[in-house]
Structure 1
Amino acid sequence: MPGIPTESPTGDRKGICAGRVAVVTGAGRGLGRAHALALAAEGADVVVNDLGVAADGAGSSAGPAQQVVEEIRGLGGRAVAHTGDITTTDGAASLVAAALDSFGRLDALVNNAGFLRDRMLVNLDEDDWDAVLRVHLKGHFLPLRHAAAHWRAEAKAGRTPQARVVNTSSGAGLLGSVGQGNYSAAKAGIIGLTLVAAAELGRYGVQLNAIAPAARTRMTEQTFAATMAAPGAGEFDAMAPENVSPLVVWLSSAASDGVTGRVFEAEAGRITVMEGWRPGPTADKGARWTPAEAGEAARRLLAAAEPPQPVYGAR
């Protein structure tokens, strides 16, 4: 990670996010840590949120968030730790307050926090369903809700922001993933939330996009061990979390003006704009179908349609 950009003679930090304040949830490890460091390297002041839980959401520790803060400060940047639970109203409100109290403004929110409790559907209990939807989906909604309320107030006061939100979905949310019904449902929900929020909040100067990253983290290094394995010495580490962060930094910056309501896949050296549900082959009888007719029409349409991409892990 390069050092934090030096300040200009006027005291303004240089970089694509110079003068901006960014909040990153789940920033103590993995992708969130990489995003926080990359934002700081491009001039942003960063609020580093992390509960410090285990890979399944158990326990808590202030250590991971504070360690990232110290890394940023050691490189000459400015950062503060936030260890509140962003899946609660009070925790999400205090996250926004941490940015405003520490740095006087909020320009970007990167929603990244999450954990896994993988089970096949017949073995997936209610607690594991609720916990995963809570951290991923509610953990996106509440920080977004409180940040949006702040930005709306700013816009109504005549100070329309150049605000940015980057949400974190997954290939599991786009295609599904065997053994991850709870995670796939949550990540698909995040895409829906992103599209609605982008449509609702644009009038207040807020742009929202989602990424579906693939990288080596605690959530992937065992589940997809072969794919996520580190390369040999001197080879490009395609699955390094740091490969995803440049897109996140750009989407968090004012330079991404006009880009909203989009979903990007990001992994290794590849960025892909995802194209969502669009009408395919269609048939219109102009009257009510019988069940048999509907079935015949569906068969014809399916024959003319593009086949779906397979669910991850399907055989």
Structure 2
Amino acid sequence: MIDGLPMVVPEPGLPDRVRIHEVGPRDGLQNEKAVVPVEVKAEFIRRLADAGLATIEATSFVHPKWVPQLADAERLMPMLDGVAARLPVLVPNERGLERALALGVREIAVFGSVTESFAKANLNRTVDESLEMFAPVVATAREAGVTVRGYLSMCFGDPWEGAVPVGQVARVARRLLDLGCDELSLGDTIGVATPGHVGAVLTALGAAGVPVERLAVHFHDTYGQALSNTLAALRHGVRVVDASAGGLGGCPYAKSATGNLATEDLVWMLDGLGIETGVDLGRLTATSVWMAGHLGRPSPSRTVRALSPQEL
């Protein structure tokens, strides 16, 4: 290690560049018990962009009753004018899309499930019914020239159903892609995946005609497997990885879910592999320490703790 950076030792066959899809402002902050002031959220996003993150999921246009922590979406988005990053938002339905389009949003995401139990818990619908709900959302967004991402949760395990067959993941992923999504993010919502499992799912998706170029991965670190799973995905050609600054977040509808993969931990590994991200690790670490101060607790990211011991 030199000046807080890992020694660079590339691994043949890996992508030369990875795009990090930063989810901290949405997926991270939606799980906070207290509502973070909108001014702090806006500053958080600005600092993440200044650290070099080019895609930052800003907020969600879900009904405030369900996620009160993100009820300020209409106030937040105008505060981000001039931020040099892509700023996708989550929309649950047509009404959410209308609200987002009214503010000039150019990228949206819908959030689906490959299992019936989680579809019921999260959307109060079956998998088929949720896809039917997404169809007009995706169609309207595409007609408006808006990019659409599809999240698929419970791709590797479900707290109610247990192990999820890889064929089931492939079938639902293919259907969501056929609706018109530009990109699919495969979620290990409760963090139970292991590298071989990741490879099996990606192989099944390829066999179902889902191009790896259209895929992203979204790992949780419940069993400390998020980085090893990410490396497995990179070895299969994935070039987009979701992560959350400081390791913020989890899932409010899956109680066994712990924090997302910390962006700093991901950047440390990618830097060591010689994979470009455009992210300044020092600035990113400082941003997570700053946010940890606003939240009143240390960041769970191992890299943040190693590079900047926090006293909270």
Under a length normalisation based on structure 2, what TM-score does the superposition of the two structures give?
A: 0.36
Considering Cα pairs closer than 8 Å and 6+ residues apart, tell me whether 1 or 2 has the greater RCO.
Answer: 2
- Structure index of larger Rg: 1
Under a length normalisation based on structure 1, what TM-score does the superposition of the two structures give?
A: 0.36
